[in-house]
Amino acid sequence: MKYYSLNKNASKVSFKEAVIQGLAPDKGLYFPENIIPLDGDFFKNIENLSNETIALETIKQFVGDAIPETVLKQIIAETLCFDFPLVEVEKNIYSLELFHGPTMAFKDVGARFMARCLAYFNKDKADSKNTVLVATSGDTGGAVASGFLGVAGVDVVILYPSGKVSDIQERQLTTLGQNITALEVDGVFDDCQDMVKKAFLDEDLHHKNLTSANSINIARWLPQMFYFFFAYKALKKYNLPITVSCPSGNFGNICAGIMAKRLGLPIAHFVASTNVNDTVPRFLEDGNYDPKPSKATISNAMDVGNPSNFIRIQELYHNDLGEFEKDFSSFTFSDDATTAAMKAIYKTNGYIAEPHGAVGYLGLKKQLKTVDENIGIFLETAHPIKFLDIVEPILGVTLAVPQQIESVLGKEKKSLKIGSYAELKDFLR
């Protein structure tokens, strides 16, 4: 399988090269040259297949011969070391809980898969390491730190804005040690992101083999297809059309869901639910893609003004509004609506949704009003404890601390403070 750059001004590369480079030399995102649907028997038998077998069948064609099947199986087994429960919160409305991994956000899946692919590609290079450089506003950093911890041949450097991430998020970044270094930047998220971009373009740092670990990297993006198949496996018996709503920020997760459909997965409709950062809902109204600076909300992992993966979705729909209309909608919701939904879900069903999941729920309900009986799934992308400062006061509850979080709370924070690009460069050299 080859990958081409969506800027169409770079050579095609293998899975291995695409993973190592992250972004193509022309700054385009990589996209698979072919998407070959799985055969009908796979879907006929899916309820008898293990999650690991399903994952292998779905990702195989995208990896090609870059990783031998025995190794790929091992990578999948280590990636899927936790459950993906579907919880029925009201009749025919399910929460697909993607937060049972080590850092309690769905990003664990992509981060664990990508880390192990890189480790395999590095296994014979005793003295040349890859450096994963990533800027985070919260969840990405924790998932990347945990996913890459102890992975041979890879150093991880995470930049985060000082004082702008939650206590739990900061501890997930700063307490692991080993091959993980946290740089605490005197600035905001955009400053961290700017420094990372500068480093990627800096000739003096070329020998460091810098790689990104955001969802622009195909090895972080594609494994997110897996859990759409797991959800179908569980709900197939009801024999109803399925609508899925993804709370969306950079649109990597929902883009993986659409890829799953292109592999033949019977999902009737996708809803990309956003907070007030509504670039995509506005695009669907008039076909004009007009990104705006991001606005801060209570669902802050989705505070994205220019979603990096939307270009992949445009490719899948040939950028044609008529094609989008068939199975893709996108709706925007305010913080007030999100808060009201969290309260209503809790009061009526006793289910605690955090703000991102609640935005997903709202989009799902809105879409389902327009169709006959469907099964609806919203993705619950993080555990409520990760947003406890928001969830506890809104719902008037005290959340129990899960073991994954408990284990980082007692550990000592270790970070290096930096204030400028020169300091980052010095550190990397």
Ligand X SMILES: *Cc1c(COP(=O)(O)O)cnc(C)c1O
Catalytic sites, residue numbers: 107
Shortest distance in whole angstroms from residue 237 CB to ligand X: 29
> Per CB under 6 A, does 169 bind ligand X?
no
Can you count the helices (H) and strands (E) in the chain? 19, 14
Shortest distance in whole angstroms from residue 119 CB to ligand X: 23
Q: Other CB atoms closer than 10 Å to residue 100's CB: what's the count?
A: 16
Q: Which member of 79, 137, 217, 248 binds ligand X (CB under 6 A)?
A: 248
Distance CA 329, CA 306 (A): 18
- Which CB atom, from 153 or from 249, has the smaller least distance to ligand X? 249
Distance CA 137, CA 392 (A): 21
Task: Report residue 302 as tokens.
Answer: 């989705």
By three-state DSSP, how is residue 165 classified? coil
> Per CB under 6 A, does 405 bind ligand X?
no
Cα separations (Å) of 388 from 45, 99, 158? 41, 14, 23
Q: At what angle do helices 252-262 and 226-235 cross, to 10 degrees?
A: 60
| Total residues belonging to the chain | 429
- Which CB atom, from 13 or from 302, has the smaller least distance to ligand X? 302
Q: Which member of 5, 181, 215, 367 binds ligand X (CB under 6 A)?
A: 215
From residue 135 to residue 154, what is the string marking binding to ligand X with x (rule CB under 6 A)? Answer: ----x---------------
Q: Burial, 287: exposed, middle or buried (Cβ in 10 Å; 0-12, 13-18, 19+)?
A: exposed
> Of the ranges 26-34, 61-69, 158-166, 249-257, which one interacts with ligand X (CB under 6 A)?
249-257
> Of the ranges 48-56, 188-196, 248-256, 288-296, which one interacts with ligand X (CB under 6 A)?
248-256
- Which CB atom, from 199 or from 353, has the smaller least distance to ligand X? 353
Q: Which residues contact 287 (CB under 8 A, 6 or more apart)?
A: 321
Shortest distance in whole angstroms from residue 265 CB to ligand X: 18
Residues 279-298 contacting ligand X, CB under 6 A: none
> Per CB under 6 A, does 249 bind ligand X?
yes
**Would the CA dihedral through 109, 85, 338, 317 be positive or negative?**
positive
Q: Which DSSP state fits 273? A: E
> Per CB under 6 A, does 365 bind ligand X?
no
> Per CB under 6 A, does 301 bind ligand X?
yes
Strand partners, 86: 96
Shortest distance in whole angstroms from residue 87 CB to ligand X: 17
> Per CB under 6 A, does 105 bind ligand X?
yes
- Which CB atom, from 226 or from 251, has the smaller least distance to ligand X? 251
Looking at this protein, which amino acid is placed at residue 398? T
> Per CB under 6 A, does 302 bind ligand X?
yes
From residue 28 to residue 47, what is the string marking binding to ligand X with x (rule CB under 6 A)? Answer: --------------------
Q: Which member of 233, 261, 356, 365 binds ligand X (CB under 6 A)?
A: 356
Shortest distance in whole angstroms from residue 129 CB to ligand X: 27
Residues 252-271 contacting ligand X, CB under 6 A: 252-253
> Of the ranges 84-92, 169-177, 247-255, 410-418, which one interacts with ligand X (CB under 6 A)?
247-255
Q: Which of 32, 81, 84, 93 is nearest to 58 (CA)?
A: 32
Burial code (b: 16+ CB inside 10 Å, e: under 16) for 137-169 equals bbbbbbbbbbbbbebebbbbbbbbbbebbbebb
- Which CB atom, from 89 or from 302, has the smaller least distance to ligand X? 302
> Of the ranges 41-49, 166-174, 241-249, 415-423, which one interacts with ligand X (CB under 6 A)?
241-249
Q: DSSP strand E in 189-342: where?
A: 210-211, 242-247, 269-274, 328-332
- Which CB atom, from 161 or from 249, has the smaller least distance to ligand X? 249
Q: Which of 319, 292, 296 is nearest to 306 (CA)?
A: 292
Q: Which DSSP state fits 382? A: B
Q: In the complex, which residues of this chain contact ligand X (CB under 6 A)? A: 105, 107, 139, 215, 247-253, 301-302, 356, 381-382
